[in-house]
């Protein structure tokens, strides 16, 4: 692809602090000064064709957590990677929750570029407690050619190009903003210092080459940044680089966000944006990088190419990789019933998804809660027509019972149950050979049908759940439904994410007739 022609970067008169020549958030005492300026291309997922945003938010007495992630269709790699990264950060936050101070964690996504070939997303996280606030940002780049989600390093031709980009940042900070070399922050300063102290031939006075310690040092092999694994290795090697939070500018160059704390004299500002002119960028980008820049500047979005994959945006699909997270599947048998709506209310407070193993004979009696289950993202499983023991039935009897229940659920929701839970957990070889869906049991039995005690039910769930657990309840018992708020609160506080059965087994896969009890990884 032919690179875009060089575009002269915008220069805009800004009011800034007299002591600092940086792009600052307004609000400080200021003088008039002409400064380089970069307008980053950033869009909300809801504003682009072919994608939308989904939000998960939970408010408790202990904390407030929320995240907004992009949805690009069923099982889209960028959707899964973005949401999984945000969910993992939320778990870490909740596991280390400070006492008092009204702790909050808010995560968001903006889109940096979008086309059928490439999508770039910027994930941000703002954590606060007791008046202290921290901010972090990262970028992800989806390459449709490889179907991989890649780090920022994949946008560059090679590591030499990454070094040149750091030197371009150093030049802008020194020439445009009057920062002396010794005040250049982090890797920008290291790369600039190494390059300038290296004699002709590449070795510096201390025997090293002219690169940063975090970059391509002389003792390591050059990395092929077009190869996903090596691009990820390069991102680790260049950890802490401000290029990890780059966007393309409206002028065709780069807009690189730098932490105000890392820029001497930046003061109390939200962000410092450093422009790199389009002319400086030419020759540094990879093929993916040029595609990303073109996508950013065109603003066309995805169209229908990606959004319709596997059912389009209306499809739920897998959006979390539970092999990397603390996931739990809460399951409810023998309903729907008179207490099911109350249970759904409790689940909604935690943005929790669950799986309901319903009896086909009750679906017509309680169509409203069944419709609500489907509308709110829960999963419906087949628990037979009226709780007969499948192991005592003929193959023909099993088939008719399962098909009848599937049809009842499909009539209300439009979708057949993806899994079966045999009543009493009873099954045999005939059952396994006859059914056309996976058979799901459990690893945590709350014995709620026996105890009929709310406290005992919640304790059984909280004491025995581990990542990957499938927990058994019965929503026909009021005592069980009353236990769910405490179960949700306790597991949420531990950093768990509440998912459906097919979500928790999603990346391990499920086969018809196979029996599953849990998705524990160890």
What region does 27 belong to: left with phi over 0, alpha with psi -120 to 50, or beta? left
| 219 token code pair | 């003792």
User: What is the rounded distance in angstroms from the CA atom of residue 199 to the CA atom of residue 457?
Assistant: 72
What CA–CA distances, in Å, run from 418 to 316, 408, 511? 13, 14, 11
Residues of the chain by 3-state class (helix, strand, coil), percent to 5: 35, 20, 40
Respond yes or no on whether the N-terminal peptide bond of residue 336 is cis (omega within 30° of 0).
yes
**Cis link prior to 392 (omega < 30° from 0)?**
no
Structure tokens that stand for 208 in this block: 């090293």
How many whole angstroms separate alpha carbon 422 and alpha carbon 79?
A: 33
- Antiparallel, parallel or unpaired: β 470-474 and 327-333: parallel
Can you name the residues that pair with 498 across neighbouring β-strands?
328
How many residues make up the chain in this entry?
A: 522
* Beta-carbon contacts of residue 293 (< 8 Å; ≥ 6 apart): 4, 113, 248, 252, 281, 285
Q: Which residues are catalytic?
A: 333, 474
Distances (CA, A) of 301 to 47, 97, 118, 429: 9, 38, 10, 51
496: nearest Cα among 94, 82, 105, 79: 94
Name the DSSP class of 486.
Answer: H
- Measured CA to CA in angstroms, residue 315 lies from 307, 312, 430, 465 at distances of 10, 6, 33, 29
Question: CA dist 420 to 152, 158, 276, 402, 436, Å?
Answer: 43, 51, 57, 8, 9
H/E element, 135? strand 132-143
- Measured CA to CA, the distance from residue 147 to residue 149 in angstroms comes to 7
- Separation between Cα atoms, residue 397 and residue 405, nearest integer Å: 12
> In whole angstroms, what is the distance from residue 73 CA to residue 322 CA?
18
- Helix, strand or coil for residue 300? coil
Q: Strands (DSSP E) along 418-488, which ranges? A: 439-440, 444-445, 470-474
């Amino acid at each position: 692809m032919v690179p875009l022609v060089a575009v002269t970067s915008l220069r805009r008169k800004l009011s800034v602090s007299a002591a600092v020549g940086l792009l600052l958030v307004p609000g400080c005492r200021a003088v008039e000064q002409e400064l380089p300026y970069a307008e980053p291309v950033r869009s909300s997922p809801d504003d682009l064709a072919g994608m939308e945003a989904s939000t998960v938010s939970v408010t408790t007495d202990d904390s407030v957590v929320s995240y907004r992630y992009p949805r690009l269709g069923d099982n889209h790699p960028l959707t899964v990677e973005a949401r999984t990264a945000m969910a993992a950060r939320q778990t870490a936050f909740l596991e280390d929750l400070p006492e008092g101070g009204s702790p909050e964690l808010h995560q968001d996504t903006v889109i940096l570029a979008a086309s059928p070939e490439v999508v770039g997303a910027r994930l941000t996280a703002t954590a606060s407690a007791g008046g202290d606030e921290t901010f972090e940002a990262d970028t992800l780049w989806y390459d449709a050619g490889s179907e991989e989600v890649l780090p920022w390093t994949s946008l560059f031709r090679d590591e030499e190009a990454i070094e040149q980009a750091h030197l371009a940042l150093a030049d802008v900070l020194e020439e445009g903003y009057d920062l002396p070399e010794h005040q250049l922050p982090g890797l920008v300063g290291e790369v600039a210092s190494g390059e300038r102290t290296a004699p002709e031939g590449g070795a510096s006075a201390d025997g090293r080459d002219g690169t940063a310690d975090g970059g391509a040092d002389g003792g390591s092999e050059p990395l092929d940044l077009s190869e996903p694994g090596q691009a990820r290795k390069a991102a680790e090697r260049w950890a802490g680089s401000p290029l990890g939070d780059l966007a393309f500018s409206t002028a065709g160059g780069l807009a690189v966000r730098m932490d105000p704390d890392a820029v001497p004299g930046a003061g109390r500002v939200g962000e410092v944006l450093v422009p790199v002119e389009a002319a400086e960028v030419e020759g540094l980008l990879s093929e993916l990088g040029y595609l990303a820049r073109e996508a950013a500047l065109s603003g066309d979005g995805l169209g229908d190419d990606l959004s319709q994959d596997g059912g389009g945006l209306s499809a739920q699909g897998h959006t979390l990789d539970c092999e990397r997270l603390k996931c739990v599947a809460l399951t409810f048998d023998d309903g729907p019933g008179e207490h099911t709506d109350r249970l759904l209310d409790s689940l909604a407070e935690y943005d929790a998804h669950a799986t309901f193993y319903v009896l086909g004979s009750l679906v017509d009696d309680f169509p409203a809660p069944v419709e609500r289950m489907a509308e709110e993202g829960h999963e419906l499983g087949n628990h037979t027509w009226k709780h007969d023991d499948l192991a005592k039935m003929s193959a023909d009897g099993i088939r008719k019972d399962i098909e009848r229940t599937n049809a009842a659920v499909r009539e209300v929701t439009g979708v057949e149950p993806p899994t079966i839970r045999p009543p009493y957990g009873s099954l045999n070889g005939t059952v396994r050979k006859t059914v056309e869906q996976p058979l799901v049991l459990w690893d945590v039995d709350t014995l709620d049908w026996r105890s009929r005690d709310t406290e005992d039910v919640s304790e059984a769930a909280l004491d025995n759940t581990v990542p990957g657990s499938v927990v058994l309840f019965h929503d026909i018992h009021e005592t069980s439904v009353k236990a769910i708020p405490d179960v949700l609160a306790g597991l949420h506080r531990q950093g768990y994410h509440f998912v459906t059965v097919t979500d928790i087994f999603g990346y391990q896969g499920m086969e018809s007739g196979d029996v599953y009890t849990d998705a524990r990884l160890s």
